[in-house]
Amino acid sequence: MRNFMQMIPGGVSAVVVLVLASMLLSIVPGRPQMWLYPLVRQAMQFKIDYQTRDMPAKETPHFIVKYTEADADMADMVAKAAEAAFEPVTGALNYAPGGKILVLIYPDRQSMKKAYGWAGDASAMGFYWGGVIQVLSPKAWMKNAQSAEEFITTGPIAHEYTHLVLDYMARGNYSRWFTEGLAQYMEYRINGYEWITAGNQLTGQLYTMAELTADFDELPNQALAYRQSLAAVRYIAEVYGDAKLGQVLNYLKAGVKMDKAIEKTLGLDIATFEALVNQWAKGTMKEYKQAAN
């Protein structure tokens, strides 16, 4: 498959897969988006793999880390962090993607932002896109770029890998707030890391679940949107237990819509869920002032 794909430009392969997928859709019953989704993601993966075919690579049991010469001394550390995330994330989500996952290291912010027209947060250390984990070189943001411990505990790998595993598992059937909440929950559980700012306190004005669901990326206070997302996932896992979070994941995997997956699992409607999460978060989650002490 790889050799065939290398013979044609990545853009063409994406089109070929889309055409084949739409032909397939006409004969396969069921949920169209969830059939199509993995095929589109695979097309993007082939494209990225093709575009980076000349980069040096380091293979581990579950990952292939590609990097530029400038980061030859970072590849081992990034590979180690990826392997360190594998077991906790796949264990918690009870799902392991097949094959080796590609991790791309960008040497600087400029090249990361330029890649695939990505226009995300300038301060981000990585992102998940097209079935591939994409990270900024530790040299571009860490004080001591050689500290594997610091990279594992404060770096983006566990977070982005969680996005990837959910994406493979649920084939696109999840809300933006849920994948951000789950990714932060894994960072919190594995590394004790939380994104707490003066502007994302849960005691003030909050976004509604409807806003988080419909407009996540457009909400002006992103730190608050992320914090509320973590609160909602932590609420499920900590009040109802990990088995209930697992049940939500299983519903998503089976194609049940996000709201219904939560309603069926917890026996609550979404309005009640929202009120309970907000009430719980206020008394339970760490706030900025406490964190600064």
What is the contact surface with Zn ion in residues (CB under 5 A)?
180, 183
Q: What are phi and psi of 103, to 5 degrees?
A: -120, 125
- Cα–Cα distance, 75 to 73 (Å, whole number): 6
| Buried b or exposed e, range 214-246, using 16+ CB within 10 angstroms | eebeebebbebbbbbbbbbbbbbbeebeeeebb
- The DSSP element (H or E) to which 278 belongs, if any, is helix 270-284
**Closer to Zn ion at the Cβ: 125 or 183?**
183
Smallest distance, Zn ion to C-beta of residue 163, A: 6
CB atoms within 10 A of CB 200: 21
> Are the CB atoms for 262 and 238 separated by under 8 Å?
no
Nearer CB in complex with Zn ion: 226/273? 226
Find the shortest distance in angstroms from Cβ 10 to Zn ion.
Answer: 25
Q: Please, which residue, 166 or 183, has the CB nearer to Zn ion? A: 183
Q: How far is the CB of 181 from Zn ion (least distance, A)?
A: 9
Long-range contacts of 81-84 (CB under 8 A, 24+ apart): 81/148, 81/151, 81/152, 81/155, 81/157, 81/158, 82/133, 82/157, 82/161, 84/152, 84/157, 84/158
> Of 162 and 278, which CB lies nearer to Zn ion in the complex structure?
162
* Minimum distance of Zn ion from residue 6's CB (angstroms): 31
Nearer to Zn ion, 167 or 180 (CB): 180
Euclidean distance between CA atoms 135 and 119, whole angstroms: 14
CB of 178 to Zn ion, least distance (A): 11
* Angle between the N-to-C axes of helices 157-170 and 242-253, in degrees from 0 to 180, rounded to the nearest 10: 50
User: 14 vs 164, which CB is nearer to Zn ion?
Assistant: 164
- Min separation Cβ 250 and Zn ion, Å: 22
Question: Residue 79, Cβ neighbours under 10 Å: how many?
Answer: 23
Between 21 and 183, whose beta carbon lies closer to Zn ion?
183
**Smallest separation, CB 240 to Zn ion (Å):** 23
Q: Which residue is nearest to Zn ion (CB)?
A: 183
Among all chains, which residue has been given the structure tokens 């939380």? 194
